[in-house]
Each structure stands twice: as C-alpha cells, then as structure tokens.
Amino acid sequence: MIQSSGDEIFFHRSGIVAEGPERFKDGAQVTYRVKSTARGPQAVEVALSDAD
C-alpha cells in the first residue's frame, strides 16, 4: 500500500475487515491502523474509506 505521504507500508489481505478483498481496487481510499512488527510497520484493520 502507498500511504498519503507517499511511503509504502506492508499490507496483507488478512488485515482487511468487513469488505472482502475483491472489493479493493487499485487507487481505492482506505482507513487502517499501523502495527509495528519485527519486519517493520504493517497496515491492519484495513477498510474502505467512506469517501469511496
């Protein structure tokens, strides 16, 4: 995933809540929480934004 700052953050489909992964398209606006892991930051609790 690319954050609004332009930085990349790791994202795994298991981090998606509510909507199924097939509903996420390139460029979709999402909300998420950042979790610190041994491999670096990871996006979790990912959901489509109300703006989409």
- pLDDT score recorded for residue 35: 95
Rounded CA-CA distance 48/17 in Å is 9
Q: What is the pTM of this model?
A: 0.74
Q: Which residue has the tokens 């491999």?
A: 39
CA dist 23 to 1, 29, 32, 33, Å?
15, 12, 16, 19
Mean pLDDT on 28-52: 88
- pLDDT score recorded for residue 22: 66
Do residues 50 and 43 make contact, with C-beta atoms less than 8 angstroms apart?
A: no
Nearest to 39, CA basis, from 12, 4, 14? 12
